[in-house]
Amino acid sequence: MKKALICGISGQDGAYLAQLLLQKGYEVYGASRDAQTANFSRLARLGIREQVQLRSTSLIDFRSVLQTLSKVAPDEVYNLAGQSSVSLSFEQPVETLESIALGTLNLLESIRFLQAPIKLYNASSSECFGNTQNQAADENTPFRPRSPYGAAKAAAFWEVANYREAYNLFACSGILYNHESPLRPERFVTQKIVAAACRIAQGGAEKLQLGNLEAQRDWGWAPEYVEAMYLMLQQDSAEDYVIATGKTYGLRDFVAEAFHRAGLNWRDHVETSAQLLRPTDIALSKANPAKAREKLGWQARYAMPEVVQMMVESQLALGG
């Protein structure tokens, strides 16, 4: 039985990945800063809370990481941890950089120190690319991040590449574009939109406040994206991959779709606010996921309209 350690198991991707690996017969461990008090509601929602073995681990503490890897002795490590909000990274840049870049470095150095045949997956982000001038980004596109979050993810990406080349570690990064699900918290704009549309549809009188409706993104379905993570670690050699649908939509389209699925006209319920604009933002996010299709056999089945439909249906089933 293979053993996997998921760092960041309390989040959306961690929960779906744990579910996938359990279905594949893995023994699944989850690392969290304080496993005694952390909220594992997403694992509970998927019905797998009791099937995951949890370990208290601070990724910014090298000794803590080394102890966890020594005790668990995993075959695979999935690094999904770290501050995950682009907007919040402008308010907490130090926390963002430490949790992502230092956390990743501690994992890499611990694996090197232990000289164990551990395969490492690192969650990178399309935020590393910044604006690509309407060009679809692939694995060879230069990084020009426009947020502290993107800068931290870029640093972690190059750490992984360096350890792979310098020490022959099986370490790779998935450069994931936006991917959503009902497990997203409302601090992410996609779930904020879906939740508000459903509340209004069920009688709420609120106005939804949003920032830049002109932003364009590639939105996918999170349960599919964790399949790509798994596939990356099943390859003969470690390589980095762009994971996306290859289809870009405007945030305005996302809003319209969500309210339409809830039986509403979004223009009656949405207001824009300059206070919600980021200091710098990516105008257009566009991806070329051809390598993942060709080498991993992975291709997204759902794009933004289907993703929104599934999120709205799930939210309405929960009572708005």
The residues assigned a catalytic role are 125, 127, 149
Q: What are the φ/ψ torsions at residue 251 (nearest 5 degrees)?
A: -60, -35
Are 153 and 100 in contact, with CB atoms under 8 Å apart? Answer: yes
Residue 126 DSSP label:
G
Count of CB atoms situated within 10 Å of the CB of 305 = 16
Are 100 and 27 in contact, with CB atoms under 8 Å apart? Answer: no
* DSSP secondary structure of 266-308: GGGTEEE-GGG--SS--SB--B--HHIIIII-------HHHHH
Structure-token pair, residue 25: 């017969």
Using CA atoms, how far apart are residues 162 and 142, in angstroms rounded to an integer?
16
